[in-house]
Structure 1
């Protein structure tokens, strides 16, 4: 047996897990640093490339440590501020790495919870996500879901919570379908809580080319507006993670 079944709750992923999930990228980056240092003896430009690669290798792990090991991200205490009424009946949307539902269930034991897992329905599954899946198996009772169909009847949830999941849908049409589904599921006045790294200057500075795996802030705003959701709250966790609370308009 592996994962939770054998050992109980696993500690949340930290910087060392980011390194483990993405080890081919870090191995290639380290090789580039070494090659640049060697070639740089003859070509000065290679020194610059080597220094830049070394910066991104180190800064990405430092930023990951700040976000995943040192911040309040995994505790979910910050949700009490951005969602003071609590999650109520809520749906947790994951894309293969669910480290939220167990904590949310413990913090809000009276709030009914459903877990939708997009992993099997992803058109493209990143190798890093497959490695993460092997470490963190799905929670018991998780429901297989697709961007075009999340579990639940119309207006059946108070909150949909999607931490680091929607960006794994690489096609815009799939992201649009998912946000439409979230809007369908929400009761009037309900909220979608998106937790994502954004493709912005801060993340690009520390994650380098890896930041292009994230979506720009404008994409989240576009998806919200298209699905009839309004931005009720926006904040940052540890500088590099954006929290957006998107509200469905309440009946008047």
Structure 2
């Protein structure tokens, strides 16, 4: 399967999956422009409001292009920071929320390993419009299994690596996150690793996504979830100012 990405595929995905946000934003800009023509209000206020709305529409696309199209996220060179001996990896799990751009790349990266792919998407629980649209265009890796987030059908301590790549924030309820991470801990070998990559609800992502940064969770929320799931060892590595790689071991 070809794993080469199209130019600007990341930013085009953002536009496609979040088009409701951009349609509303452009509509509001049009209303502001019309009201400025019909009513007398200060030009400075008008341009400040226009600048704020344009910033909110354009900056997420710029940052998304940087992170997903130009930073090397999809060539997985950032794995060098995770201290992985590729020759010892036998079983890999890649768990997503129904949008999968990484499984074929992971298989190319670890050709000797058995890769199992799981999708925890639940239409009743995970209701974000963006992920609903993303699922419709996602490439499905062969034999991907649909699962409940609290039940993954594998034996204890069977996985060397569990990848959670920009997916677990779709689990919005904290208690569900904890149950999911407990399952991941059960599956992970004692010397295995859980590798989670996420945007955080922090200042750089606020600058990037404005109010959209609330779609993500803070570092403290993730640390609390992993702690309550039984993990004690954690390493965080920044991948661009906007994404964090969390490496957990049982």
The TM-score normalised by the length of structure 1 is 0.88
Alpha-carbon separation, structure 1, partners of 2:123 and 2:181? 16
The correspondence for 1:11, drawn from 5, 11, 14, is 5
Alpha-carbon separation, structure 1, partners of 2:4 and 2:247? 27
How many angstroms does 1:117 deviate by?
A: 0.7
Question: 1:51 and 1:39, CA in 2 relative to 1: closer, same or farther beyond 3 A?
Answer: farther
Alpha-carbon separation, structure 1, partners of 2:131 and 2:82? 28
Match of 2:121 in 1: 119
Alpha-carbon separation, structure 2, partners of 1:80 and 1:164? 18
Match of 1:103 in 2: 105
The correspondence for 1:155, drawn from 136, 154, 157, is 157
Number of residue pairs matched? 242
Alpha-carbon separation, structure 1, partners of 2:231 and 2:126? 27
Alpha-carbon separation, structure 1, partners of 2:103 and 2:123? 19
Match of 1:21 in 2: 17
How many angstroms does 1:39 deviate by?
A: 3.6
Structure 2: runs of 5 or more not aligned: none
Question: 1:215 and 1:75, CA in 2 relative to 1: closer, same or farther beyond 3 A?
Answer: same
Q: Secondary structure at the match of 2:25?
A: helix
Question: In 2, are the aligned partners of 1:21 and 1:131 still within 8 Å (CA)?
Answer: yes
How many angstroms does 1:10 deviate by?
A: 7.0
Structure 1: runs of 5 or more not aligned: none
Question: In 2, are the aligned partners of 1:39 and 1:46 still within 8 Å (CA)?
Answer: no
How many angstroms does 1:245 deviate by?
A: 0.3
Question: In 2, are the aligned partners of 1:115 and 1:143 still within 8 Å (CA)?
Answer: yes
Alpha-carbon separation, structure 1, partners of 2:3 and 2:128? 25
The TM-score normalised by the length of structure 2 is 0.89
Aligned CA RMSD, in angstroms, stands at 2.0
Question: In 1, are the aligned partners of 2:81 and 2:237 still within 8 Å (CA)?
Answer: no
Give matches, 1:34-53, under 5 Å: 34-40=30-36, 42=41, 45=45, 47-53=47-53
Alpha-carbon separation, structure 1, partners of 2:122 and 2:32? 40
Question: In 2, are the aligned partners of 1:183 and 1:229 still within 8 Å (CA)?
Answer: yes
